Amino acid sequence: MGEKPDVLQGTLALMVLKTLDALGPQHGYGIARRIEQISGDILAVNQGTLYPLLLKLEHEGSIASQWGASENNRRARFYRLTSAGRKQLDAETRGWEQTAAIIERFFKIKAEDLA
């Protein structure tokens, strides 16, 4: 079984953080469902790879976890965003927006050339 390329892992991590930021504390299944809803294909299969990623983010200090009760009163592990995680999220969001703006400008140039 090969390793996920780093870029995809990084994007997935960003999505996890954003999900937690938007929806508050979630358990693993909840995060998986939300990401699947929004991004479609990326987490359609191999959802289980989320768990190693969650552990990594927890080790890095971006999220924290504790046991709690889920909707149907089952025992589940809930993850929440920490302040360090929030800072990281803001920084990465800014970075992505900048990249997107630059790329967009390049695409715009092409269209004008042809016009």
Partner 1 sequence: MKSGTGMKLLRRFSIRFSNLVTRRSANQRLQDEIAEHLALQIEENLRTGMSSVEARRQAALKLGAPQAIRERHHAEHSLPFIENLLFDLRYAARMLLRSPGFSFIAIATMALGIGATTAIYSVIDATLLHPLPYPNPAELVRIQDDLPGVGAQRVGISVPEWRDFESSGIFQSAAITGTGADVNLTGSAQPLRLSFKQVTPNYFAVLGVDAELGRTFDPHDATPGYNLEVVLSDGLWRREFAADPKILGRVLRLDNDEYHVVGVMPRGFRDQGSTSGEQNVELWLGAGFAGVPFPPPLRSARQRSRVVVARLRPGLSIAAAQGHLDALVESLKEQYPADYPAQTAWTVRLIPLSETVVGSVRQSLILLFSAVGLVLLISCVNVANLLLARTSVRSREIAVRQALGAQRTRLIRQLLTESLLLFLLGGIAGFGLLFCARHFLLRLVPESLPHLNEIAINWSVLAFALAVSVAAGTLFGLAPAWLMSRLDLTSTLRQEGRGSSGSVGRSRARQVLVVSELALSLVLMVAAGLLLRSFWDLFAVQPGFNPDRVMAVQTWLPGPNDPKMDPYQTATQEAVLLRQILSHSRTLPGVEEAAIGDQASLPLGHSDPGGLPLIREGIETMDNQAPVIDSPIVSPEYFHLLGMALERGRLFTDQDLEDSPQVAVINQAAAHTYWPNQNPIGKRVRLNFNNRGVLTSAKPVWTTIIGVIADARTESLAATAIPQIYRSVYQRSAKDLAIFLRGQLDPGAILAQERQQVQSIDATLPVFHAESLDDLLSTSLSVRRFSMEMVAFFAATALLLAGLGIYGTISYVVNEQRREIAIRLALGAQKRTILKMVLRRGLGLAAAGACVGVAGALIVSHLMAGLLFGVSPNDLTTFAGVTVVLTLVALAASYIPALRAMRLDPITTLHAD
In the complex, minimum distance from the CB of residue 64 to partner 1, in angstroms, rounded to a whole number: 13
Tell me if 68 contacts partner 1 by CB under 8 A: no
Q: Is 92 helix (H, G, I), strand (E, B) or coil?
A: helix
Which span sits near partner 1 by CB under 8 A: 15-23, 73-81, 97-105, 106-114?
Answer: 73-81
Q: Which helix (H) or strand (E) holds 38?
A: helix 28-39
Question: How big is the site for partner 1, counted in residues (CB under 8 A)?
Answer: 32
Q: Which is nearer to partner 1, 29 or 103 (CB)?
A: 29
Closest CA to 31 of 21, 14, 16, 9: 16
Tell me if 11 contacts partner 1 by CB under 8 A: no
Q: Which is nearer to partner 1, 72 or 110 (CB)?
A: 72
Rounded CA gap, 99 and 78, in Å? 32
Burial label for 16, CB within 10 Å (0-12, 13-18, 19+), is buried
Rounded CA gap, 103 and 69, in Å? 44
Binding residues for partner 1, rule: CB under 8 A, are 1, 27-29, 32-33, 44-49, 51-52, 55-56, 59-62, 70, 72, 74-77, 84, 87-88, 91-92, 95
